[in-house]
């Protein structure tokens, strides 16, 4: 039996393009901040607030050929995407914090279902989680508009569902010391790490990728699947993120370089409370 291979076409002939993902291929390196409230049954405590200054490498590789999705209610669609591998470590100890392989896809508009063009991120995490998040993209002149993000936990059950937690559970959020090099205010609003990083830069244009596991596109949303231990002990119920791909002018004004910033929030549900797990980083393309 003859083996048939599907060869990658030359870039100029490849058909669909990466669209807003165009600048992602390559390796991005930089620093960030990680905030997570995690269960602490081991130490007989309800939770532990962990704060880390981080070092990160995020690598993207183009998928070699257009990806076909066969249609029954409309004609086939074809699109492009990238593989990625994210590796995050503690900046002080070099201890591993996060490993994530996955893919980003650039999906065209469709008629069945009726849906606009979108971007999709698929990921697996070694804790026993798999997610699919989708959303939109836009290109804006100048720097990104980075809004504050709130790290305050909220009740997930009971009469106070959705309301902010008060009392002793908030003590670690006001009394835990920040890691070296992380700016003041980063516990309440981790995005201050991002705004500080670009405060003296001249950013010429920004591609924005906005995704969530709860965003509905074409009548359905993505989601997260977890192993039973995760569901029982610290259920990851949703993820949202914004990525900013920035063209930055060099300090001497003679050139430009590419920079990637992101803010990501995973909601962990335990003790009847939703605890925001927030990661931010500023990475430069190598």
Q: Which burial class, exposed, middle or buried, applies to 135 when counting CB atoms under 10 A from its CB (0-12, 13-18, 19+)?
A: buried
- pLDDT on residue 11: 43
Query: CB atoms < 10 A from the CB of 168, how many?
Result: 8
Could you tell me which residues are beta bridge partners of residue 97? none
Look at the domain 11-285 and name its fold. Answer: Lipocalin (2.40.128)
Average pLDDT, the chain: 94
pLDDT attached to residue 4: 46
Burial class (CB in 10 A: 0-12, 13-18, 19+), 73: exposed
Domain ranges of the chain: 11-285
The per-residue pLDDT for 12 is: 42
* DSSP assignment of 149-203: -----EE-SSTTTTSBP-SGGGHHHHHSPPPTTPPTTTTT-TTHHHHHHTTT-EE
Tokens, residue 237: 């119920």
Yes or no: say if 257 and 245 are a contact pair by the CB < 8 Å rule: no
What pLDDT is recorded for position 2? Answer: 55
Residue ranges of the chain whose pLDDT lies below 70? 1-15
Phi, psi (deg, nearest 5) at residue 5: -105, 150
Do 29 and 86 meet the contact criterion of CB atoms below 8 Å apart?
no
Quote the pTM value.
Answer: 0.93
Task: Please give the Cα distance from 51 to 209 (Å, whole number).
Answer: 26
CB distance 177 to 264 below 8 Å: no
Check residue 16 and give its pLDDT.
78
Q: What is the pLDDT of residue 9?
A: 45
């Amino acid at each position: 039996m003859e083996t048939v291979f599907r060869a990658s076409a030359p870039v100029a002939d490849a058909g669909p393009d990466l669209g807003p993902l165009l600048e992602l291929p390559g390796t991005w390196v930089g620093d960030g901040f990680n905030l997570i409230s995690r269960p602490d049954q081991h130490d007989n405590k309800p939770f532990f607030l962990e704060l880390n200054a981080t070092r990160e490498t995020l690598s993207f590789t183009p998928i070699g050929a257009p990806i076909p999705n066969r249609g029954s209610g409309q004609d086939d669609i074809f699109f492009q995407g990238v593989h990625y591998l994210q590796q995050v470590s503690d900046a002080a100890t070099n201890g591993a914090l996060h490993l994530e392989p996955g893919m980003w896809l650039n999906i065209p508009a469709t008629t069945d279902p009726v849906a606009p063009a979108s971007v999709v991120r698929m990921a697996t995490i070694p804790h026993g989680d798999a997610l699919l998040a989708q959303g939109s993209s836009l290109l804006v002149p100048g720097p990104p508009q980075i809004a504050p993000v709130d790290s305050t936990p909220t009740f997930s059950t009971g009469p106070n569902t959705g309301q902010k937690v008060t009392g002793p559970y908030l003590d670690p959020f006001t009394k835990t010391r920040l890691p070296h090099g992380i700016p003041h205010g980063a516990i309440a609003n981790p995005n201050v790490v991002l705004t500080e990083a670009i405060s003296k830069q001249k950013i010429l244009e920004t591609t924005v990728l906005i995704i969530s596991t709860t965003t509905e596109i074409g009548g359905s949303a993505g989601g997260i699947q977890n192993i039973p231990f995760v569901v029982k002990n610290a259920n990851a119920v949703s993820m949202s993120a914004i990525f900013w791909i920035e063209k930055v002018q060099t300090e001497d004004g003679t050139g430009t370089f590419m920079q990637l910033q992101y803010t990501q929030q995973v909601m962990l549900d335990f003790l009847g409370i939703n605890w925001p797990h927030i990661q931010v980083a500023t990475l430069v393309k190598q």
